[in-house]
Structure 1
Amino acid sequence: MPVDVAVVVVTYNSERHVADLLDSIPRSMGELTYSVVVVDNGSTDGTLALLDAREDCTVVRSTNVGYAAGMNRAVAASPPADSILILNPDAIVDSGAVPIMRRVLAKPRVGIVAPRVREEDGSLSPTLRRGPTIGRVGGLSFTGWPVFTERIEDSSEYEREHEVEWAVGAILLVDRECYDRLGGMDESFFLYSEETDFSLRAKDAGWLTVYTPDAGAMHVGGGSGESAMTHTMKQINRIRLYRRRTGTVRASVYYVLTVLSEVRRALLGHDKSWPTIRALIDPSRRPSLLNASDSILPR
């Protein structure tokens, strides 16, 4: 039976957070009809037992096929809906937020809507991003100069509704036609950069990503854990995305600057950067899940 909103979640060792997320969904919907599908990517904690004990979601068991593939499976298992609410398991959606996001989504050419997100302590989470460029490869957000940073730090940018190039994918409402026309998320990324790729491909196809401050949510972040491996995956997928969008020559410059940026971080005491440097220089050290060990410049 069709619903207004298909809610999709991918879990992986999310026992600590997913119950709070599921509890928040009914009050976030107002009068909208909705479904909830959770794809579990092979959790080894108590996530599945928790989900199986609930009656408010459909659970799809999976091996760890990656976040993008999990999302695509969740959408495929959902009933027909004209919008898809993508949620991380460590998010909580505010009361009445989804109808507000749907009103923004109904505007001409809008394909993706991002809400205002706060951290667990209530402070603003800077989830808005500029597109990747060679100038922004180092993540020099402390400069405050847009030419050098993807992350939008200016708090005034979070006080008004406006188009953005992309937003962190913890809480996004997506037009179903947009999702289908793009073929869903690109599963080759496995983890990280899939939302960047999706929003940029949507823009290429004529769809806008719009931020609204009128709908809110909270995102804990790191709900499935953070490690040197996930940091490495993030950097490799950034290079991979940039190469696919700009070509080998520009991506080669991007790659060198990424290595230098990680060296800078390592010397400043970021211990996760040393394994990333080794993986960038030696493809055999890269996480096998990325399928990125065939050349020094990730494809």
Structure 2
Amino acid sequence: MATEKFSITIIFVNYKTSKLIDACLKSLTSQSFLNFNIVIVDNSPNNFDILELESLKIKFKDIFEISIFKPKFNLGFAGGNNYAIRRVKTKYTFLLNCDTEIDDPDCLSKIYEYMEAHKNVAMLSPKMKIFSNPNIIWYAGAKINPSNFYLSYHIGENRKDSGQFDKTIDTDYSVGAALFFRTEITNKIGFLDEIFFMYWEETDWNLTAKQNGYIIKYFPKTTVLHKVRINSVNNKENERVNLFQLYLYTRNMIILHFKHYSLLKILIFLPRQLIKKTLIQLRVAMKNSEYKIILTQIRAIYNGIYIGFNRKMYRSCRKKMVEEYKFLNTIPKISRSLQ
């Protein structure tokens, strides 16, 4: 599957984030390892960013080979990455969020050398820190536990980096914001499940990889900076006021339960999680007089159970997926700041 020209393909999925991609590409120019190409999948509507992306292609033409793909409609994070991965011919693929930057000039060389030396490792993510405060960790490995209220969490999140997470270890999942993998594993585990659109899709994919015997690592020998909002890191109650985010996060968590856990575990753990999360969202809705929040939560629960059950029974969700894509394009956003 590898080509002689490049060893790594870095994929960005763009949705009105061309300026962020520009900054990330600038950070990549300092890499000591330059044997990689760039693929950008533009999900933005109505050619919103296409001219700016084309200008980036020209701007960096002497450093990177950049390919830009424009699907007919917004495929989401899962579908956008799949669109690119299906066209990748390199040995390795690196999914990189647009809102990341790499400050370690040896980042790619360290990851490449590690993967070459450890043929049993299929996926990894480096340590990730918060861009606005690089002393604070965002990701140092991850845990998944169906009995936990949050289902999954990042190890070390929001903690000061004092070197306490500097050991390469197995992890429950590599994070989609910086996910490095052997391209050939798609021959066995397939691609990201596009029903997720975004949120939980990489967790689902990692679980599928583990179920197929693949090893996944947290690799702290290098770091990636993530422009995550501090308030989202500190939001321990999981309050969500963006309807698009709320809908997908709730729906997809339910789908993931059905895909990877027994019906007994689903019946024991999922209702408790959903009741508590719904009560939290009800409180937010009442506090802000935005009752679309709770209506969105209820719809997310219904469709999560419907899709999840059908996924568990290995039934096609093609028709439902089309309906969901149409709904996601019309879901209302709350524009004002909520308390």
TM norm structure 1: 0.81
**Structure 1 245/157 Cα, relative in aligned 2: closer, same or farther at 3 Å?**
farther
CA distance in 2, matches of 1:123, 1:264: 34
Q: Which residue of 1 aligns with 2:115?
A: 105
Q: What SS does the corresponding residue of 1:114 show, helix, strand or coil?
A: strand
Give yes or no for contact 1:191–1:233 (8 Å, CA) kept in 2. Answer: yes
Runs of at least 4 residues off by over 6 Å: 270-274, 295-298
Question: Highest Rg: 1 or 2?
Answer: 2
1:69-218 paired onto structure 2 within 5 Å: 69-78=79-88, 80-94=89-103, 95-106=105-116, 107-121=118-132, 122-127=134-139, 128-133=141-146, 135-136=147-148, 138-139=149-150, 150-153=153-156, 158-218=165-225
CA distance in 2, matches of 1:43, 1:123: 36
Deviation per CA, 1:78-109, whole angstroms, max 9, x where unpaired?
Answer: 3x211101101111123210111122223141
**Structure 1 16/132 Cα, relative in aligned 2: closer, same or farther at 3 Å?**
farther
Q: What SS does the corresponding residue of 2:98 show, helix, strand or coil?
A: coil
CA distance in 2, matches of 1:149, 1:76: 28
Structure 1 residue 182: deviation in Å? Answer: 1.4
Amino acid aligned to 2:33? E
Identify which of structures 1 and 2 has the higher relative contact order when contacts are C-alpha pairs closer than 8 Å and 6+ apart. 1
**Structure 1 149/53 Cα, relative in aligned 2: closer, same or farther at 3 Å?**
closer
Q: Which residue of 2 aligns with 1:229?
A: 244
Deviation per CA, 1:84-138, whole angstroms, max 9, x where unpaired?
Answer: 01101111123210111122223141011111111122133332321231x21x2
Deviation per CA, 1:24-55, whole angstroms, max 9, x where unpaired?
Answer: 22323x23411111001134685322111122
Amino acid aligned to 1:151? H
Amino acid aligned to 1:37? V
Which of 229, 243, 246 is residue 261 of structure 2 equivalent to? 246
CA distance in 2, matches of 1:149, 1:295: 20
RMSD: 3.0
> Which region of structure 1 is more displaced relative to structure 2, 173-182 or 188-197?
173-182
CA distance in 1, matches of 2:217, 2:41: 27
**Structure 1 253/77 Cα, relative in aligned 2: closer, same or farther at 3 Å?**
same
> Which region of structure 1 is more displaced relative to structure 2, 107-116 or 262-271?
262-271
TM norm structure 2: 0.73
**1:60 corresponds to 2:69:** yes
Structure 1 residue 162: deviation in Å? Answer: 0.7
CA distance in 1, matches of 2:110, 2:92: 13
Give yes or no for contact 1:252–1:297 (8 Å, CA) kept in 2. Answer: no
